[in-house]
Amino acid sequence: MTAPRTGILGSGRTAVGRTPGIDSLMLHARAARAAVEDAGVDPVDIDGIVTMGSFTRDYVMHSSVVAEYLGLRGIRYADVVRIGGASAAGAVTRAVDAIDAGRCALVLVVSGDDQLSGLTRDLAVKGMAENRHFQYEAPYGVTTPAAFALMARLHLARHGIDDDQLAHVTVQSRRTASKLPDAMYGTPCVADDVNTSKPIADPLRMLHCAPIADGGGAVIVGRGRPDDVVAVLGSGEAHSNGHLVFNPVDGPSAGAASAARAFALAGVRPADLGAAQVYDCFASVVAQLMEEAGLAPPGQALDRFADGEYDHDGALPVNLNGGLLSGGHPGIPGGMLHVVEAVEQVRGTARLPVADGRPVFVHCMGGILSNHASLVLGRAS
């Protein structure tokens, strides 16, 4: 008899887009129910919960409020992971660690937010103020796209790439999304559409930016037969700083170290992957992270996007759910959508199944390329 293995037993997600009237807690509940039913577990057996807070309706004891809302009474392990967009992958790792340490047996990892419908002007202003350093950044009118634009400018210059090449990421994303029934932006586009879209912060234009959305995702982490679980074969994290102005700018972001650690612990090479889910809040971010994770040679990710190598039928399919760029970006839960898609790819239940039993890489990123958490998911047996 094979020893049980800790891993992901099930996953679920909500519709992603505009869902007015469904607030953050309700999105948590919908995603949680989908994951619980997918895993085939009983809610009363859940004894651990890991959440990631909310932008629209946060609580200091956020995970306890979510557990309370769901009616979960037997929680022995509760955590709120707050490492920005990296939280989802980081939360999965913490859930696995908690189980392996004997602190709990069945963990709900869940995130949901109504960023599109529930964001008041006051909350938006508050978010801007919190995310930009009040002394060293706020006085310069640096928007979130502008912060990523500063990093994109550096990445393009480092490799001598023209601004208009960034369009290939969005074109691939829309092309992938067009094969799905429910993507927020599922109409194919061409590079010219991207390169003539409204300029936001040079070199980024509107179609390089992921659209804000409502949505959520969840996974159930527990122990099961190796054939039944999606194992975390390896995970890594790296956190370089908290504000844009402290970013490393003379070399790769901390993403390189995060991905390298995940691959090393998994004993998996990028060439072994069946698919990759790479955080894509902006088109430039995907290209940079692909290269830093070793999924593309330095400076060549955009060429490969253009050549279709990352399409669902390409050499390394990337962001099979349309990513955040075309699937929609609910904020912190955006990382969970990447994790959920990777789980579905490993199990072969994805809408565009491509992994065919091979491992799937997930890279989640927070801040302005400052917080990174990577996973290599796959079958343990």
Partner 1 sequence: MTALLPGAPRSVEAAEFWDAMADGRLLVQQCVHCGRWRAPRTVTCPDCGCWDSRWLPPPGPARLVTCTVVRRAPSAEWGEHAPYGVAIVEPAPGCRLLAGTDWLPDAADLGRPVVVTVVAGQGGPRLVASRADNTDTDGAETAA
- Residues lying near partner 1 in the complex (CB under 8 A) are found at 125, 128, 133-143, 145-146, 149-151, 153-154, 156-157, 163, 198-204, 244-247, 249
Q: Evaluate whether 377 touches 230 at the Cβ level (below 8 Å).
A: yes
- Which is it for the CA torsion 20, 62, 74, 347, positive or negative? positive
Q: Evaluate whether 378 touches 98 at the Cβ level (below 8 Å).
A: no
- Based on CB atoms, which residue is closest to partner 1, 208 or 379? 208
- Based on CB atoms, which residue is closest to partner 1, 106 or 287? 287
Taking the complex as a whole, the smallest distance from the CB of residue 154 to partner 1 amounts, in Å, to: 4
Tokens at residue 66, please? 């979510």
Q: Evaluate whether 168 touches 306 at the Cβ level (below 8 Å).
A: yes
- Based on CB atoms, which residue is closest to partner 1, 158 or 261? 158
Taking the complex as a whole, the smallest distance from the CB of residue 364 to partner 1 amounts, in Å, to: 24
Which residue type does 329 have?
Answer: H
Q: Evaluate whether 255 touches 295 at the Cβ level (below 8 Å).
A: no
- Based on CB atoms, which residue is closest to partner 1, 82 or 159? 159
Q: Any residues with CB less than 8 A from the CB of 102 and at least 6 apart, and which? A: none
- Based on CB atoms, which residue is closest to partner 1, 129 or 315? 129
Taking the complex as a whole, the smallest distance from the CB of residue 139 to partner 1 amounts, in Å, to: 5
Q: Any residues with CB less than 8 A from the CB of 273 and at least 6 apart, and which? A: 295, 316, 355, 358, 359, 360, 361
Taking the complex as a whole, the smallest distance from the CB of residue 203 to partner 1 amounts, in Å, to: 8
Distance of alpha carbon 344 from alpha carbon 153, whole angstroms: 35
Taking the complex as a whole, the smallest distance from the CB of residue 127 to partner 1 amounts, in Å, to: 11
- Based on CB atoms, which residue is closest to partner 1, 149 or 221? 149
Q: Which residues pair with 219 in a beta bridge?
A: 11, 109
Q: Side-chain half-sphere of 212: how many Cα atoms within 13 Å? A: 12
Taking the complex as a whole, the smallest distance from the CB of residue 309 to partner 1 amounts, in Å, to: 26
Distance of alpha carbon 37 from alpha carbon 19, whole angstroms: 22
Pairing between β-strand 48-51 and β-strand 77-80 as defined by DSSP bridges: parallel
- Based on CB atoms, which residue is closest to partner 1, 81 or 156? 156
Taking the complex as a whole, the smallest distance from the CB of residue 94 to partner 1 amounts, in Å, to: 27
